[in-house]
Amino acid sequence: SRLQCPFIVQLLYAFQNHEHVYLVLTWASGGDLFSLMGRMNRLFSETEAQFYSAEITCALDHLHNHNIIFRDLKPENVLLGDDGHILLTDFGLAKDVRKELARSICGTPEFMAPEAWTGCNISVSPLRPGGLWFVLLEQIDAELNAVGLDRHVGVGVLVYLMMVGVTPFFDPEKRRYDRTRALREGAYRTISTVFGVKDPPSSDADDFVAALLRIDPVDRLGAPGGIKVATHSWLVAVDW
* Catalytically annotated residues: 72
3-state secondary structure the chain: CCCCCCCECCEEEEEECCCCEEEEECCCCCCEHHHHHHHHCCCCCHHHHHHHHHHHHHHHHHHHHCCEECCCCCHHHEEECCCCCEEECCCCCCEECCCCCCCCCCCCHHHCCHHHHCCCEEEEECCCCCCCEEEEECCECCECCEEECCCHHHHHHHHHHHHHCCCCCEECCCCEECHHHHCCCCCCCCHHHHHCCCCCCCHHHHHHHHHHCCCCCCCCCCCCCCCCHHHCHHHCCCCC
